[in-house]
Structure 1
Amino acid sequence: MTHNRSPQRARLLWCGYAAFWLGLLYALVSVYWAAGGTVGLDTLGGELERLARARDPRMIAVVWLTAGLKLFAAVLGLAVVQEWGQRVPRRVLLTLSWGATAALVLYGGSLVVGQTLVEAGVIEASADMDRKAFSWHLFLWDPWFLVWGLLLGAATWGRARRSAAR
């Protein structure tokens, strides 16, 4: 039985660390843009790009808030697989982690599904669609949320099973 737990623990750790790194990288992109960086803003498209380029104070505040939330969700990936995460009450940690998982998967998943339907011609794209930004969202930004959420969910599931078995 111990033999089966070791690969299971390795997968749990891998998912938690991968969720952490994906979240951290995503948070760093937001920090870069919030601090005034402009490389890659054209991948956002539309009003988001316009407001970011204009350094609209409300938009910049939202980007800083987003960076903080991404960093918090990234740390949840570590908290569910590290010993120090056991200092957080189980119910609190699992509630936060499941909540972040649901937000990431629902947000990323719904966008990817919708964009895939547009790409496949099932849904008609608007005439003024920014094709470059659309492609970046379909192939990077939105799947990133989805994959991050799935990894965090797998790590959280493993943590919930491990702590329930105790």
Structure 2
Amino acid sequence: MGAARLRTGIIAGYAAVVVGLVYAAFSLYWTLGGTALLDTVGGEVGDLARRGGTAAFALGLGATLLKVAGCGLCYLLVRTRGRVRWVLVPAALGGCLLIVYGGVLVAVGALVLTGAVEPDSAVDWTALRWHVAIWDLWFLVWGILLTTTTVAFRRQSFVDVPASHG
């Protein structure tokens, strides 16, 4: 593996871990009853989090654990430089899913914000701005970082070299 590709994979991978953990921290904070920035989430998820209860806790905990698991997968990918083959497929799928999910939501939200698309119903403009500029964009950036890491390490996984953890 070329030094530049290795460096790119490592930097993108650790950045993906940090981005994911910070995002997971927000989910955990709201799951545990925090309310700061909750009005920027909007919609049914924001309403559910404000009401609290078992459903809100389960949804928040599930989101937190999923984000942490994604970080763990990316960390494993970086630490093994892609030599643990089973990590590549879920990392690639996760990266693509995050790119599509974040990209579509950012694009559609931006079209509504610019007036290019008329919304069907009442819009929480504050939440929409935050989703386009922060929350959904965060998914897109996380997906790009995870995909960059996966691509950087993909060839290494097929080289018969013992995995090192350093």
* Other-structure match for 2:62: 65
Structure 1: where are the runs of 5+ without partners?
none
Cα distance in 1 for partners of 2:80, 2:45 equals: 39
Structure 2 counterpart of 1:94, which letter?
L
Which stretch shows the higher mean deviation, 131-140 or 75-84? 75-84
Pick from 114, 138, 154: which aligns with 2:108?
114
Q: Hey, what's the Cα distance between the residues in 1 that align with 2:109 and 2:32?
A: 29
Is 2:126 the partner of 1:132?
Answer: yes
Supply the AA of the counterpart residue of 2:8: R
Letter in 2 for 1:58: A
Output the CA distance in 1 between the equivalents of 2:142 and 2:81: 21
Alignment partner, residue 14 of structure 1 = 11
The code of the aligned residue for 2:122 comes to D
1:158 pairs, out of 152, 162, 165, with 152
Taking the aligned partners of 1:43 and 1:115, their CA distance within structure 2 comes to 14
Contact 1:27/1:71 (<8 A) preserved: yes
CA contact (8 A) 1:78 1:85 kept: no
Question: 2-side partners of 1:122 and 1:99: how far apart?
Answer: 31
> How much is the aligned-residue C-alpha RMSD, in angstroms?
1.8
The within-5 A match list for 1:91-102 is 92-102=86-96
After TM superposition, the score normalised by the length of structure 2 is 0.89
SS at match of 1:38: coil
TM-score (norm 1): 0.89
Pick the structure with more helix per residue.
1
Choose the corresponding residue for 1:45, options 42, 45, 52.
Answer: 42
1:143 aligns with one of 130, 137, 161: 137
Runs of 4+ displaced beyond 6 Å: none
Any idea what the Cα deviations from partners look like across 1:23-64, whole Å, max 9, x if unmatched? 010011101110111111101112222111110321220110
Q: Given the alignment of the two structures, is residue 83 of structure 1 paired with residue 80 of structure 2, yes or no?
A: yes
- The one-letter code of the counterpart of 2:136 is D
Return closer, same or farther for 1:85/1:64 CA change in 2, 3 Å cut-off: farther
Please give the alpha-carbon distance, in whole angstroms, between the structure 2 residues aligned to 1:129 and 1:118.
9
**How many matched pairs?**
160
Whether the aligned pair in 1 keeps the contact of 2:6 and 2:153 (CA below 8 Å) is: no
Partner SS state of residue 53, structure 1: helix
Q: Return 5+ residue gaps in structure 2 as ranges.
A: 161-166
